Structures are given as structure tokens and as C-alpha cells.
Chain A
Amino acid sequence: MRNRRWMIVGLALLVAVPLALAGCGGKGNGNQAEGTTSSEASTTSSDPIKLTLWGAVPSENGPQEVVDNWNKQNPDIQVEYVRFVNDDAGNLKLDTALISSQPVDMYVNYDFSLYEKRIKAGNALDLSKFSDYNVDDKMGEGAALWKVDDKYYGLPTQKGLSFVWLNKDMLDAKGLPIPTEWGLDEFRDYAAKLKGDNIWGLAQSDYYFNVPINGSLQKQSLQLTKADGTSAFDNPLTVKTLQVYSDMMFTDKSLMPHTEQITSKPALDQMFVKGETAMLFSTNQIFRTTNNVQEFPRTFKVAAAPAPKVNKDQSDYINAGGLGDVISINPSTKHQEAAWKFIQWYADGGMLPMAAGGRVPSSKDFPVDEAVALMFKGVEDTYDLDSIKRVMFGDLPLGLSRLDRKTGTEQQAVYDKVFTQKLTPEEGATELARVHNDNLKALSK
């Protein structure tokens, strides 16, 4: 009997002690805990304020240099950069850190639905409490798309558009001009003309099936719904997009089939610099590869064209993307003022080292010429600068899809079926709408 009691007491201790230790450890080591001393206390003591910024860009592609620059200029506020990968697992890691009081003082949002979720969960500070920075004035009209309940909970810091990257040498060889405005028919025509032996006319990841489709629906609503609140996916522009891509895969054989992408998981940016594809539909991320001529040497010039509309003369098309890299402050940080100071500095000039990775700052106070110079430093001759500047710094209408994350993910299965010819483009459009409507219904409950 006594032994049993001993055992119970022992077991209870075995559970309680590590839990207590874990609890203490979490507080003691956490940045949040370091920040529990008030900002006044921090300024009076010699200990600098420590802030942690979570972002998805690899630290060597700019963020580390950004925080190093800040830390040199601001010995009283030291920032540490923590990288999370912008996928399901990475976002889960960030969200877990946010709700479990791990050290996250600031974090970057890349997707509206996650941003909105974090706001609703109380994990993003309402920035209207700071009156010293007019976001609309600084960032332009595209910023307002990130307002929730008419308030900013994060500062959009870059223009994140999707473009078509072109191998200009291949274009020249075929006598094709750099497009400045085009629809999917012209896009298809270019791909067909540019394809060659072991060269695809076009490569793009799955995400880019959405770009022309969503771009055609966004003017109706950011949620991609019709006036009656039902899904807008079931429309002729969606059907045409699916048809053109399907024709490029199966008729022209100018686009790497979706099925090949699934099974080969190719590094598309590397295919582009190796000359294995003449065009690449992507974002400014490609700069990480095209600027790295030591590791990825290339002999051709890179040019850029805007994302294709569905129909060239379409007036209700909005370029997907808009402003992005939205930095939020965790409301539980004890150093909100210091975090805000850092974010303003970052947006208005501090993010300069990120420009080398192709990130176009959105603040009007940003030294754009410096950003452009840095973006092409040492590799100016390997780009068709006019076309790049036209699409990256031009005045394209910006949009931001607020399609819920679940629909976005589940629609992948529909693309799988259309591009393995299990569904016709018409059936595909209907199915995209059905998936969307089901989720709209679930969300309205």
C-alpha cells in the first residue's frame, strides 16, 4: 500500500517537475520575457531592448544585412531575424509561436487570409494607435487592400507583382518584341514560337493558373464572388484560361505538363537561367537566381513582361499581387514603440538590402534609385533594364485576392483533374465554383 502511494507521488512529481521547469525555461529564455521589463526600465539600464523579427526570406538574401545595419545604428534596440518558410509547416510554426508566447515581436505576413486570421486571433497590433505615419499617403492606394475593419494591423512594405520573365536572346532569335500588354492568346502564341528541342516555351508553377483567373474576378470583389455573394469562378474567362493552358500542354506541347511538374518538382528558376525554358511566369523571387551569376551563370539577357490578361483588350483585369510583405507587431510585445520605430525605418529605407533580392519597396520615401542600383549592381548588362523597370516600377492596377485559404488549397485538386483531362475546362470552372461555394457556406455559419 505504502509502495503504491510512493509510486503515485513519484509519478506526479515526474510530470510536475519537467512541466514546471519547461514553464520557467520558456519565460527565462524567451525574448518576450526579456521584454517584460518596461521600456522605461530598459532605457535606464544598459541592457538594450531585444526584438525578434520573423520573416520568410532566407537571411542571406537581405534580412540579415537589414538587421545588422539597424543594430549598428541603434545599439539600444537590437533586432534578431528568425526565418520561417512560407508554407503550411512554416506558418504553423509562426502561429504556434504567436499563441504560445514564444519570442515573436514582429512578423511578416505574405498571405491575406493568414493575416486576417492572425488579426482575429488578437495576434496583430492595431497600428492606428501610432499617429506619426500615414500609411495610405506613404504606400499609395494599394495599401488599403490590407485594411481590416478599416484599420491597418500591418505595414505593407513591398510591391509584389507577378511577371513573365523572358529570355531576350531567344525572343530576338525569333524576331519577337518584348510584350507590353498581352492576353493569353498572345501568351500561347509566344510559347509556341519559342519552344525548341529540349526547350519549353513556358514554365510556371501551379500558383500561376490562378493569376489570370483571379485577376479577372477581382474587380467584382476581392473575395472573388458575384454580387449575390456566390462564387464568381464559373465564368467564361475561367473556362478560357483553363482551355488555353490545357492547349499549351496537350496540343502545342509548349508548356511543361502539370503532371510532369507534380512528379519532377523541377526548380523552375534554374530551368530558366539554364535556358531550358524561354519564359517563366513568376514573381520577383527570381532575382535571387538571375542575380547570382556566379552560381547560376547565363549568357542571355533577362527581360520582363506584365502578367497576361485573359483577353488582351480586357478592361476589368487587375494584376494579382499588389503590395505585400506586411509587417505586424505582436500585441504581447512589451516594446511596441521600439518595434514600430524599426518597422518605419525598414519601410522607408532600411529594407534596401532586400532590393538585391528583387523586393521593390512600396514607400514613396524610399530611395528608389538606390534600390534599382542595388538590384542590378554588377549585373546591369545581363538585363533588359527598360522592360524590367516598366513592369516592376510601372503604374499597373494592383489587386489583392482575399480568397479564403481553404478554397485556394482545395482548388489544386481541380487543376489536377483539368490538366490530366479528367475534367473539361467547362467542368473545371464549375468545379472551382462548387469548391468555393461550399467553403463560402461553411464560413458564413
Chain B
Amino acid sequence: MKRQRLIGYVFIAPNLIGMIVFMLIPALFSFYLMFTDWVFASGQSPHFVGLDNFRMMVRDDLFVVSVKNTLMVLIPVPISILIGFLIAVMLNNRTYLQKTLRAFFFAPYFTSGIAIAFVWMVLFQPSKGPINAFLRSIGVADPPLWFASPDTAMYAVLIMMTAGGIGYNMIIYLAAMQELSSEQLEAAKMDGATFGQLLRLIIFPLVSPTTFFLMITGFIGSIKGFGMIYAITQGGPGNSTTVFSIFAYKKAFSFYEMGYASAVSWTMFLIILCITLIQWVGQKRWVHY
């Protein structure tokens, strides 16, 4: 028995060590740093400054902008879940090219995020991009500049994020729908349920744990989202797409303000925690296990 346990610990050791060394220790270190004014590579030791970083944060215009933008990137989550759900319903039934269509919708998920970002950059290119070419062809004389304008860059990001989430949501829903009892659906149909009623009153409640899972992971992923936005806009133009993670990254790795960046990162953690807790408490009303 003892030997078995020991072998068990040996097996989990690589992961455990990785987690402790690369996640737990840095997290605790950054917790300490957020109360200091430490500037990386300055040769100075961290000085305890109490809550100064948080005071500075609330007075920082760019922080306020990043909060607003971070809340905006939550919008694509429910939209992509809804669209993913509807596509999954369609592809769960027998349709033409069912497997091809599943692969088509899922493809963006297993493609590199940076590659997708560059595809969107080409699609949204203001003067030669296909989207604006189409808009011009239907008579829009002055189509949007998308990523290139402070007025529209955030909307372009939201469209990109919505589209990016659909494939993953669809696959998870499809898996959930495969588990649904066909008897319940047949019974509802025999009772005269319309397709809309079937969706709203039978299928959606039955896959509600999946929806809950997608909401939780989707919100966390969106708030942490960094790579695709950074690859295209670096938070610009004019800071219009600066979200929490980009704000923290710039403070930490462009300006080396590690104390301040740690405070921003922990604030981001607290916001994610609050949103997750709210969802967790709220699930009792609509999730059926």
C-alpha cells in the first residue's frame, strides 16, 4: 500500500514540481510585489509602499480604459455560446456534409491563435481587405477602418473573439447532446412540442451544465485574453483595445514596473474570482444536473 502511494507521488511529481516552481512560487512572489515599488533590473530592492499601487491604479486613466475594455470582451462569450449551441443543434441532426461542417466550424479552435489573428487582420484591412471590398460593392462609400481606428478597433476585436469561440462551444455542446436521452426528445415531439419549444424547454435545460461550464471558462479566458489582441493591435490604436492583460504586460515587460503590474494582475484575479462566484451562485437558478 505504502509502495503504491509512493509510486503515485512519483507519478504526480513532475506536474506538482512544475506547478509549485512555475505557478505557486511566482504567484506568491507577485502577491508580495504588489505592495512594493519594485522596478525590474533597476538594481534596487523592493520597498514596501502599502496600497500605493492601488491608489495609483484608480487614478490611472489607462487603467480605467482597460477595465472598460475588459468588460467589453465579456460580450462575445454569451453570443458565441448561443451561436455554438444553435450550430450544434443543427449538426447533431442528420444534415448534409455533417462531418465536414463540424470540422469546418471547429477548425479555428485547433489553429494557432496568432495565425487566426493575422487572418482577421487581412480580412479587416481597411483599403484592400475583402470585408471592406464587399461593403464598397454594396454601396458603402466609407466603410469602417476596423482595427485601424480607435472608434472601431474594439468592435473588430469583439467580432474576432465571437467567431473564435463558436467552434469550441459547438464541439462541447455536440458532445453533451450525444448524451441526451432520445426518449425525452421523442416524447416531447409526440406531445406536439414545436422545434422552438424543444430547444428552449428540453434541449437547453438538459445541456445547462455544459452552458455553465462554457460560461465560466469563457469569461475567464476572455478576461485573460492577450495573444490575439496583442498580435494585431498591441492595445492600440490610441489604447482603444488595451485590456487588463495588455495593460499589465506593458507595465511589467515594457516599463519593468513589476510592483504596479503585480497589483494590476491581482486585481484582474479578484475580478475573475468575483465574476466566477456570481456565476457559481447564480447557477442554482438555471443549471439542472
| A residues adjacent to B (C-beta < 8 A) | 3, 7, 10-11, 14-15, 18-19, 88-89, 92, 95-96, 98-99, 117-118, 120-123, 257, 259-260, 262-265, 405-406, 409, 412-414, 416-417, 420, 422
Contacts and interface: CB of A to CB of B under 8 A. Distances in A.
A88 B254 contact: yes
Contacts of A120: 42-43
B238 interface: yes
Nearest to A87: B254
A369 to B, nearest CB: 41
A11 B238 CA distance: 48
A96 B41 contact: yes
A89 B17 contact: no
B148 A406 contact: no
A412 B236 contact: yes
Given A262-B233, A263-B126, A15 B20 contact: yes
Contacts of B140: none
A14 B13 contact: yes
Interface string B232-273: 110011110000000000100111100000000000000000
Contacts of A416: 150, 236-239
A259 B145 contact: yes
Interface string B216-238: 00000000000000001100111
Interface residues of B, number: 36
Contacts of A11: 16
A420 B16 contact: no
Contacts of B125: 260, 263-264
A122 to B, nearest CB: 5
Given A263-B148, A420-B148, A98 B254 contact: no
Nearest to B232: A263
Contact of A99 (B2, B41, B146): B41
A117 B42 CA distance: 6
Nearest to B242: A413
Contacts of B276: none
Nearest to B148: A259
B124 A95 contact: no
Contacts of B124: 263
A405 to B, nearest CB: 7
A21 to B, nearest CB: 11
A118 B40 CA distance: 11
B98 interface: no
Contact of A259 (B16, B43, B149): B149
Contact of B21 (A19, A121, A406): A19
Nearest to B41: A95
27 contacts: A14-B13, A15-B17, A18-B17, A88-B253, A88-B254, A96-B41, A98-B41, A99-B43, A259-B149, A262-B147, A262-B233, A262-B236, A263-B125, A263-B126, A263-B148, A264-B125, A406-B254, A409-B250, A413-B236, A414-B238, A416-B150, A416-B239, A417-B237, A420-B148, A422-B150, A422-B151, A422-B238
Given A262-B237, A412-B236, A420-B238, A95 B253 contact: no
B238 A117 contact: no
B279 interface: no
B96 to A, nearest CB: 37
Query: 10 closest A-B pairs (Cβ-Cβ)?
Result: A121-B43, A259-B148, A416-B237, A95-B41, A416-B238, A417-B238, A263-B148, A88-B254, A122-B43, A413-B238
Given A18-B17, A416-B238, A420-B237, A260 B42 contact: no
Nearest to B44: A121
A122 B239 CA distance: 34
Contact of A10 (B9, B238, B253): B9
Contact of B253 (A3, A89, A420, A422): A89
A325 to B, nearest CB: 21
Given A14-B16, A405-B255, A95 B237 contact: no
A361 to B, nearest CB: 30
B127 interface: yes
A95 B258 CA distance: 14
Interface string B33-50: 000000011111000000
